[in-house]
Amino acid sequence: MNTAGSNLRESHAHLFQLGRSLTMADLSACTSRLEAIERLTEHAKMLDPDGWVLAHGMRPDGWDDRSYPTRSELDHACDGRAVCAWSFDYHALTCSSSALAAAGIDRCTTIEHGQIVFDDAGEPTGELIEHAALHLWNTVPEPHESQRHRLIRDACAHLGTLGFIEVHDLKAQPWLGSVMSDLLDAGEISMRASLFPLIADLDATLIAQPSWNRSITLGGIKVFTDGTINSRTAWMLDPFTDGAEAYPSGTPMMTPDEISDACCLARSHNLPIAAHAIGDGAVRAVLDSIESTRCDHMGCRIEHAEVVHPDDVARFHSLGVIASVQPCHLLTDIEAINRSLGDRLDRILPIKSWLDSGLIAGETLVFGSDVPIVRADPQDSILASVCRRRADMHESKAINPSQAISQAQAWACFK
């Protein structure tokens, strides 16, 4: 391994889901809908006939046929079993008829902040977006709590092979600190961790915190303010060029007042907020709330910040806000970015401008992967931040190349 790629910090991960994903079908290498279906068929054959068929990593925007496998195709491929196959961004999925039935989703179902895609006959196709996808996922049986130690140990071991010695979990379950402490005390892991629970899990996390190993800290509170580019649900200041008619500028998951309330709650506990904000509308709303609630210079973080209006770039430094970004997402989002945001590519991941405005690599500008959304290999973010394109692409295909930084600067963001 490159010596620059050791003793690293993974600043945005989901350990429990990473552990689970290691047992799921990985569809990230599939190049078409049919290939994804074939992979699911093979994976189903290896499972208990009564168990769910779970998969992740689909990237339809990179396929010639950009459509998800339908419920009827999944029914046929997996013999009528319950199937749940996530898009790589974990903001959309497709599922089988029995999975829809288990979740109580039919032609009459509506879900706030979620979309159910219907066919011409008015029946669900199996494609679910945002909170509709979460509704289905909450139906999938979770691993028994006796399996948590193994899943977290496997996740930490996986990160360790990539050079990471510290991880930030940005949707930490209330039990995660205790499980990691058990593993640390037993010498089964050596990973340091900073945990960011959702607001709903804060009280339970605070109760558990006194028993944590000293290598585990409470980093802040996590909120989701928007969706993603691939799902066209990122909260944009201007409409996507190919956005959905029902939500042309994406789907805000929180109102400005709700973001401000979250900031105030975090401040009452002397904690920073860590806000998922991908679109430039979401980024601006979070910056505005941090400023109006006087939560500036508290260590607040904006996670992802994939699209940022030029007027908001320098506000990160002036407000003391950490840009916690995942350049590796550029590698998987390129097709979606070009299709939906081709008229504003100058707003995509303004990494160099953040550094020029005063952010410090490794302190106020930090890199992660969002694993298992994409793989955690730091080389992906190095490639994306230095070359601004995939390795197999001509340099003319680079996205916003004026924002490229050096390898040394990029590695520093992992330290």
Are residue 126 and residue 186 in the same domain, yes or no? Answer: no
Domain end (from 137, 165, 184): 137
CB proximity list for 353: less than 8 A, separation 6 or greater: 310, 313, 314, 403
**What is the pLDDT, as a whole number, of residue 88?**
83
Domain end (from 137, 172, 196): 137
Q: 15, 23, 17: which is closest to 179 by C-alpha?
A: 15
Are residue 11 and residue 46 in the same domain, yes or no? Answer: no
Q: 69, 71, 68: which is closest to 121 by C-alpha?
A: 71
- The CB-side HSE value for 272 (13 A sphere, CA atoms) comes to 22
CATH code where residue 73 lies: 3.10.310.70
CA angle (242, 245, 250) in 5-degree steps: 70
* Positions in the chain short of pLDDT 50: 1-3
Are residue 22 and residue 36 in the same domain, yes or no? Answer: yes
**What is the pLDDT, as a whole number, of residue 62?**
84
CA angle (235, 238, 239) in 5-degree steps: 80
Are residue 307 and residue 407 in the same domain, yes or no? Answer: yes
Q: What is d(CA 42, CA 21) in angstroms, rounded to the nearest whole number?
A: 17
* 144 within domain boundaries: no
Sheet with 365-367: strands ordered across: 221-224, 273-277, 301-304, 322-325, 365-367
Are residue 132 and residue 188 in the same domain, yes or no? Answer: no
* 326 within domain boundaries: yes
- Phi first, then psi, for residue 91 (nearest 5°) are -120, 0
Cα–Cα distances in angstroms (integers) from residue 225 to residues 82, 201, 216, 247, 350, in the given order: 30, 17, 26, 15, 20
CATH code where residue 228 lies: 3.20.20.140
**What is the pLDDT, as a whole number, of residue 90?**
84
* 145 within domain boundaries: no
Are residue 94 and residue 159 in the same domain, yes or no? Answer: no
**C-beta separation of 66 from 76 below 8 A:** no
**C-beta separation of 81 from 53 below 8 A:** yes
* 300 within domain boundaries: yes
- Structurally, how many domains does the chain consist of? 2
* 311 within domain boundaries: yes
Q: 285, 323, 332: which is closest to 303 by C-alpha?
A: 323
Are residue 277 and residue 376 in the same domain, yes or no? Answer: yes
Cα–Cα distances in angstroms (integers) from residue 157 to residues 115, 180, 296, 370, in the given order: 36, 12, 36, 16
Are residue 280 and residue 317 in the same domain, yes or no? Answer: yes
Are residue 380 and residue 254 in the same domain, yes or no? Answer: yes
Cis peptide before 256 (omega within 30 of 0): no
Helix (H) or strand (E) holding 387: helix 378-387
Model pTM above 0.85: yes
Are residue 322 and residue 354 in the same domain, yes or no? Answer: yes
Sheet with 53-58: strands ordered across: 25-26, 53-58, 83-87, 92-95, 124-130, 114-118
* 392 within domain boundaries: yes
* 101 within domain boundaries: yes
Q: What is d(CA 409, CA 398) in angstroms, rounded to the nearest whole number?
A: 19
Could you list the beta-strand ranges (E) of 221-321: 221-224, 273-277, 301-304
* 142 within domain boundaries: no
Are residue 283 and residue 376 in the same domain, yes or no? Answer: yes
Helix (H) or strand (E) holding 218: strand 216-218
Task: Supply the range of the domain harboring residue 62.
Answer: 18-137
Are residue 167 and residue 126 in the same domain, yes or no? Answer: no
Cβ atoms within 10 Å of 142's Cβ, excluding its own: 11
**C-beta separation of 226 from 235 below 8 A:** yes
Q: What is d(CA 212, CA 54) in angstroms, rounded to the nearest whole number?
A: 32
| DSSP states along 184-205 | HHTTS---EEEE--BGGGHHHH
